[in-house]
Structure 1
Amino acid sequence: MEFNDIVQQRRSIRNFKPDPVAQETLDALLSQALESPSSSNSQPFKVAIAQGEIAKQIGAELTDKYWRSTEIQRKPLIQKLIGFLTSDSMPDSDFKPILGKYPGIFQKRRVATGMGLYEVLGIDRKDTKARDEHMAKNFHFFDAPVALFFFVDPRMTHTALVDLGIFMQSLMLGATNEGLGTCAMGALGIWRKPLDKHFNIPTEYKLVCGMALGYPTDAKVNQYRPEKISLQELIIPEA
């Protein structure tokens, strides 16, 4: 495809076919993404790739933690505090907080995006049960056959996150060009222990987020594209 077509067609995919992604295709996409620039070519990131049975096990563990932590968060204060102290379902993310209220205009944009998504899905904003069930789908990667988890070495401070973001964008655009879909998910950075159980992750590397990757279905949710800010909002005017 032409580059502009790739950029326009890339969107967050939330419904995947079960078809596996060939290993050679995945390797080619990752190799291509490694051509991305990074600070002094430091490349301070690593990727854990879950497929097949490992992806199913991790998805089951994350989903279980999600439902148990959600139950705790909705209990009265005292029971909530006890749950925080005694449950292994509470977040053990490397970067805190992963999810929370965004400040000012960013919260307004977040809410608008969420409401647009719920409208496409036919979920009433007050329907807590349906919203929880949709959120839970993040933790088994919207049934994508590939789940990727991204780590950075924090000794590179903020440049590691910049470099990872560039790498991830290259990966998502490359996947789009191959007819694949992706969904980058901050929610996959909430719990690390299930990943340490399945991968030999260097202890100094910190989990940032994850990504679902696979072949998109024709589901209506995959056509959702939130409105982007205008150039006027983007560009800082001269003094």
Structure 2
Amino acid sequence: MNFKEVYEGEHVTRKFNNRKIPEKTIAEIIKKAQQSPSLLNSQPWRAYVLMGDALEQFKQASANNVDQGIKPHEDFASMLSLDWDTFPSSNMATMGASQSFFFRNKLNLFAEANKTMFNAPAIVFLTVPKKSPAWSVFDLGIFAQSIMLLAVNRGLGIMPAHSMVSYPDLVRKYARIPEDESVGMAIALGYIDKNAEVNDPVYIPKRVPFDKIYKVTK
């Protein structure tokens, strides 16, 4: 694929089909993503992949937590408890309204897909050392975007989802992540289920007007 196709083709997948991904493919993607820049070449990221039986056990354990009403306790600050600035808050409000309209009667389908972790055959968990400056989170974001674009280039669907790191204790248990690393985010990988209603159509939220984010001083 050329760069324009990859960049414009990046969007989340709400349900994957049952086709498995060769572990070699994921390893090649992660290895290429290592070329991502980082502060002072610190390369603070690590990637832990869950597949097969280990992934199924993790999914079940996470679903059990949800059913029992156990509150999320992310390593990073809880997304919904953050004190957002007015600008992103207004953007999120618009997103929430448009998403509800878009999904209409598909909200239950999305909730179901989210609980099953989108039927993903592989999930990549990304971490940084707990003893890290804030810049490491910026570096982790660059690394994550590299992984997603490389995955799209290989014909894979992607889903970076906050819900998959809601219970970092379970992530550590099943992905064997040391206690001195913060579980930052997760990216589900797989092949898009083109017959799934929840995937139809592709939903791409509107962008903020360009003049709201772009300023030039000469």
CA distance in 2 between partners of 1:142 and 1:215 (Å): 11
Q: Compute the displacement of 1:168 (Å).
A: 0.6
Decide whether the 8 Å contact of 2:91 with 2:208 is kept in 1.
Answer: no
TM alignment of 1:59-74, pairs within 5 A: 59-69=59-69
Q: Compute the displacement of 1:176 (Å).
A: 0.7
TM alignment of 1:3-18, pairs within 5 A: 3-18=3-18
| Structure 2 equivalent of residue 40 of structure 1 | 40
Decide whether the 8 Å contact of 2:63 with 2:115 is kept in 1.
Answer: yes
Decide whether the 8 Å contact of 1:182 with 1:213 is kept in 2.
Answer: yes
Instruction: Answer yes or no: is 1:157 the counterpart of 2:133.
Output: yes
| Structure 1 equivalent of residue 123 of structure 2 | 147
Decide whether the 8 Å contact of 2:14 with 2:110 is kept in 1.
Answer: no
TM alignment of 1:210-229, pairs within 5 A: 210-218=186-194, 219=196, 220-221=199-200, 223-229=202-208
Identity rate of aligned residues, in percent?
23
Match of 1:122, SS?
Answer: helix
Q: Which of the residues 207, 214, 218 maps onto 1:235? A: 214
Match of 1:152, SS?
Answer: strand
> Structure 2: 5+ residue runs without aligned partners?
none
Decide whether the 8 Å contact of 1:93 with 1:191 is kept in 2.
Answer: yes
> Structure 1: 5+ residue runs without aligned partners?
70-88, 125-129
Q: Compute the displacement of 1:237 (Å).
A: 4.1
Q: What letter matches 2:23 in structure 1? A: Q
| Structure 1 equivalent of residue 92 of structure 2 | 110
Q: Which of the residues 170, 189, 211 maps onto 2:165? A: 189
Moved more, 94-103 or 201-210: 94-103
Instruction: Answer yes or no: is 1:123 the counterpart of 2:105.
Output: yes
Stretches of 4+ aligned residues off by more than 6 angstroms? none
Instruction: Answer yes or no: is 1:91 the counterpart of 2:67.
Output: no
Larger radius of gyration: 1
TM-score normalised to structure 1 length: 0.81
Residue-by-residue CA offset, 1:57-79 (whole Å, 9 max, x unaligned): 1111112222332xxxxxxxxxx
TM-score normalised to structure 2 length: 0.88
CA distance in 1 between partners of 2:201 and 2:126 (Å): 23
- 1:150–1:136: structure 2 CA closer, same or farther, 3 Å change rule? farther
Residue-by-residue CA offset, 1:121-176 (whole Å, 9 max, x unaligned): 3238xxxxx55x63453343211111111111132211111111001101100111
- 1:229–1:168: structure 2 CA closer, same or farther, 3 Å change rule? same
Match of 2:14, SS?
Answer: coil
Q: Compute the displacement of 1:233 (Å).
A: 1.5
Instruction: Answer yes or no: is 1:203 the counterpart of 2:179.
Output: yes
Decide whether the 8 Å contact of 1:59 with 1:140 is kept in 2.
Answer: yes
Decide whether the 8 Å contact of 1:14 with 1:221 is kept in 2.
Answer: no
